[in-house]
Amino acid sequence: MESLETLVRHLSLRRGRERRGLALAEGVRLVEEVLATGVPIRAALMSPSLEATPRGAALASALKSRAPRVESMTDRQLAELAATEHPQGVLVVIAPKATALGDISLSARSVVLVLDAVQDPGNVGTMIRTAYGLGASGVVALPGSAELVNPKVLRASMGAAFRMPAVAASHDETLKWLADQGAAVWIAAADGKPVPGARRTSPIGLVVGNEGAGISAVMAGAATMRVAVPLAAGAESLNVGVAAGILLYEALRDV
């Protein structure tokens, strides 16, 4: 049988995750979210020092009831496998649910966040967390965006990636799906207008792009509205995650 150490090393690479259909989640809070949301767990590694704490003991008990393989590993050994600078003594191998655009349910007042080549995993995870927290219906990651099961994406999402649909799809698939749903396409652009305050009667696909390159030509060409966050004089731009949060709040607040 393959050792858990070898499996974790394989899953630290994108090609390993894609080939096996598995991913990694680490840290106490994120693993608690894995357990709470029912994500299948294939294996777990845990340090004795964490298990010696009350919270760690409860976590270990839950993992032993859910995971077919639970092994002990020292903090030092876990640190060599972990993606974080300060690992918390627990790492699990999970089988994330495969999702498709059809899993995102849109009503007349829904907003779905579309990521157009947003490359930074931290930003992607933060936007999934923000979209979930503000009540968006889902997140769509277009080509060039960070992989949705990248460990840094999952960690930054703080479990939101397990609680709302987050889908990787092509430009054409996404635009067809939005059209079929009767959704308007709003793109975030420096020359855009503030989000309109009138009550909406159709769903919205809110597209945010790469901080350097902006929105792709294909998504810009499909836009029905260009929106922006008004900035103070002299300010050039906002972090894409911050901008997405403000625009989502404005688009959803009258729902």
Q: 3-class SS at 200? A: coil
**131-151 tens-digit pLDDT:** 999 999 999 999 999 999 999
In this predicted structure, what is the pLDDT of residue 254? 64
pTM for this predicted structure = 0.91
Any residues with CB less than 8 A from the CB of 59 and at least 6 apart, and which? 28, 31, 32, 35, 46, 50, 51, 90
Residue numbers of the chain with a pLDDT score lower than 70: 1, 84-86, 198, 254-255
Which of 94, 119, 145 corresponds to the end of one domain?
A: 94
Which of 72, 94, 116 corresponds to the end of one domain?
A: 94
Which of 94, 113, 132 corresponds to the end of one domain?
A: 94
Please indicate, yes or no, whether residues 105 and 89 belong to a single structural domain of this protein. Answer: no
Residue with tokens 């393959």: 2
